[in-house]
Structure 1
Amino acid sequence: MTHDHDLELRPTAAQTEAALNPPPGRNGGDLVIETLQGLGATTVFGLPGQHALGMFDALRRSSLRYVGLRVENNAGFAADAYGRITGEAAPLLLSTGPGALTSLAALQEAAAASAPVLAISSQIPVAGLGGGRHGYLHELPDQQASFRGVVKSVHTVRTQSQIPSAIAAAWESALTAPHGPVWVEIPQDVLLAETMLPVVTAVDATPHDLVPRPELTAVAADLLSRAERPAIIAGGGVVRADASGKLRALAEKIQAPVVTTFGGKGAFPWEHPLSLQSWLEDRHTTDFLEDADVLLVVGSGLGELSSNYGTFKPRGRVIQIEADLGKLESNYPALGIHADARLALSALLETVEERPDPAAPERVRTLLGRVRDRIASQDLTLEQRVLSAVRAALPDDTPSFWDMTILAYWAWSAFDARRPNTMHSAQGAGGLGYAFPAALGAAVADPTRPVLAVSGDGGALYSIAELATARQHDLNVTWLIVDDGGYGILREYMTDAFGEATATELSRPDYVALAESFGVQGVRTSPETLESDLAKALAAPGPSVVVLPAALRMFAPTHF
Structure 2
Amino acid sequence: MTTQPLGAQISQMLKERGVDTIFGIPGVHNVELYRGIEQAGITHVLARHEQGAGFMADGYARASGKPGVAYVITGPGLTNLLTPLGQAYSDSVPVLAISSCLDETSARRGQLHQMRDQRAAAETVCAWSEEARSAQAAYTLIDRAFDEFASTRARPVHLQVSIDTLGAQASAAPLPPERRPGRPAARHADVYALVDAVLKAQKPLFVFGGGAKGGAAAIPQLLQQTGAASIVTYAGRGVVPADTPLYFGSSLARPDSARIAAEADLVIAVGTTLSEVDLWRPTLGHTAPMIRVDIDPACFTDLGPADTAILADAAEVLHAMAIAISARTEDLPPKWQASEVAQHRALWHAEIEAERPGILPVCDALKVALPEDTMIYSDMTQFAYAAKEVWDMPKPGHWHHPFGFGTLGYALPAAIGGAVARPGQPTVALAGDYGLQYTIQELGTAVELGLPLPILVWDNGKLGEIEDSMVRSQIAPNAVVARNPDFLALAKAYGAGAVEPKSLDDLQTALRAALTADGPTVIRMTQHMAG
TM-score (normalised: structure 1): 0.89
CA 1:427–1:33 in structure 2 vs 1: closer, same or farther (change >3 Å)?
Answer: same
Paired position in structure 2 for 1:280:
252
- Cα distance in 1 for partners of 2:256, 2:529 equals 24
Paired position in structure 1 for 2:410:
434
- Cα distance in 1 for partners of 2:84, 2:445 equals 17
- Cα distance in 2 for partners of 1:552, 1:425 equals 24
Counterparts of 1:525-540 in structure 2 under 5 Å?
525-528=501-504, 529-540=506-517
Report if aligned partners of 1:426, 1:434 keep a CA contact under 8 Å in 2: yes
Report if aligned partners of 1:174, 1:180 keep a CA contact under 8 Å in 2: yes
Paired position in structure 2 for 1:100:
78
SS of the residue corresponding to residue 276 of structure 2 reads coil
- Cα distance in 1 for partners of 2:206, 2:409 equals 32
CA 1:92–1:315 in structure 2 vs 1: closer, same or farther (change >3 Å)?
Answer: same
CA 1:524–1:166 in structure 2 vs 1: closer, same or farther (change >3 Å)?
Answer: same
- Deviation of 1:397 (Å): 0.4
Amino acid at match of 1:261: T
Paired position in structure 1 for 2:459:
483
Report if aligned partners of 1:385, 1:527 keep a CA contact under 8 Å in 2: no
CA 1:526–1:426 in structure 2 vs 1: closer, same or farther (change >3 Å)?
Answer: farther
Amino acid at match of 1:347: A
Paired position in structure 1 for 2:317:
344
Paired position in structure 1 for 2:184:
210
Paired position in structure 1 for 2:524:
547
* 1:446 is the counterpart of 2:436: no
538-547 vs 402-411, greater mean Cα deviation: 538-547
Paired position in structure 2 for 1:158:
133
Report if aligned partners of 1:383, 1:552 keep a CA contact under 8 Å in 2: no
5+ residue gaps in structure 2?
A: none
Counterparts of 1:222-233 in structure 2 under 5 Å?
222-233=196-207
Paired position in structure 2 for 1:556:
none
- Cα distance in 1 for partners of 2:346, 2:314 equals 31
Paired position in structure 1 for 2:468:
492
- Cα distance in 1 for partners of 2:513, 2:449 equals 21
SS of the residue corresponding to residue 436 of structure 1 reads helix
CA RMSD of aligned residues (A): 2.2
* 1:424 is the counterpart of 2:392: no
- Cα distance in 2 for partners of 1:163, 1:198 equals 11
Paired position in structure 1 for 2:261:
289
Paired position in structure 2 for 1:9:
none
SS of the residue corresponding to residue 173 of structure 1 reads helix
CA 1:154–1:174 in structure 2 vs 1: closer, same or farther (change >3 Å)?
Answer: farther
Paired position in structure 2 for 1:251:
223
Report if aligned partners of 1:238, 1:244 keep a CA contact under 8 Å in 2: yes
Q: 2:122 aligns with which of 131, 147, 159?
A: 147
CA 1:176–1:472 in structure 2 vs 1: closer, same or farther (change >3 Å)?
Answer: same
Report if aligned partners of 2:277, 2:404 keep a CA contact under 8 Å in 1: no
Paired position in structure 1 for 2:101:
123
* 1:55 is the counterpart of 2:33: yes
Report if aligned partners of 2:239, 2:396 keep a CA contact under 8 Å in 1: yes
- Cα distance in 2 for partners of 1:551, 1:318 equals 46
* 1:404 is the counterpart of 2:377: no
* 1:236 is the counterpart of 2:213: no
- Cα distance in 2 for partners of 1:28, 1:410 equals 49
Amino acid at match of 2:228: A
Report if aligned partners of 1:447, 1:476 keep a CA contact under 8 Å in 2: no
- Deviation of 1:330 (Å): 3.6
Alignment length (residue pairs): 524
Report if aligned partners of 1:437, 1:466 keep a CA contact under 8 Å in 2: yes
SS of the residue corresponding to residue 385 of structure 2 reads helix
Report if aligned partners of 1:116, 1:175 keep a CA contact under 8 Å in 2: no
Amino acid at match of 2:32: G
* 1:303 is the counterpart of 2:280: no
- Cα distance in 1 for partners of 2:262, 2:107 equals 55
- Cα distance in 2 for partners of 1:340, 1:268 equals 18
- Deviation of 1:380 (Å): 5.6
Amino acid at match of 1:104: L
* 1:73 is the counterpart of 2:51: yes
- Deviation of 1:441 (Å): 0.3
SS of the residue corresponding to residue 408 of structure 1 reads helix
- Cα distance in 2 for partners of 1:198, 1:374 equals 60
SS of the residue corresponding to residue 392 of structure 2 reads coil
- Deviation of 1:503 (Å): 1.6
TM-score (normalised: structure 2): 0.93
Query: What are the superposed Cα offsets for residues 392-436 of structure 1, whole Å, 9 maximum, x if unpaired?
Result: 221110100110000100111011211111111112321100101
Paired position in structure 2 for 1:180:
155
SS of the residue corresponding to residue 296 of structure 1 reads strand
- Cα distance in 1 for partners of 2:151, 2:99 equals 21
- Deviation of 1:77 (Å): 1.0
- Cα distance in 1 for partners of 2:351, 2:481 equals 30
- Cα distance in 2 for partners of 1:267, 1:132 equals 55
- Cα distance in 1 for partners of 2:234, 2:356 equals 21
Q: 1:322 aligns with which of 254, 277, 294?
A: 294
435-444 vs 417-426, greater mean Cα deviation: 417-426
442-451 vs 333-342, greater mean Cα deviation: 333-342
Paired position in structure 1 for 2:361:
385
* 1:268 is the counterpart of 2:240: yes
* 1:524 is the counterpart of 2:500: yes
315-324 vs 151-160, greater mean Cα deviation: 151-160
- Cα distance in 1 for partners of 2:254, 2:149 equals 35
CA 1:139–1:421 in structure 2 vs 1: closer, same or farther (change >3 Å)?
Answer: same
- Deviation of 1:36 (Å): 0.2
- Deviation of 1:194 (Å): 2.6
198-207 vs 504-513, greater mean Cα deviation: 198-207
Report if aligned partners of 2:378, 2:401 keep a CA contact under 8 Å in 1: yes
Report if aligned partners of 1:263, 1:428 keep a CA contact under 8 Å in 2: no
Paired position in structure 2 for 1:19:
none
Paired position in structure 2 for 1:137:
112
- Deviation of 1:298 (Å): 0.7
- Deviation of 1:520 (Å): 0.4
- Cα distance in 1 for partners of 2:352, 2:140 equals 55
* 1:368 is the counterpart of 2:345: yes
Report if aligned partners of 2:502, 2:529 keep a CA contact under 8 Å in 1: no
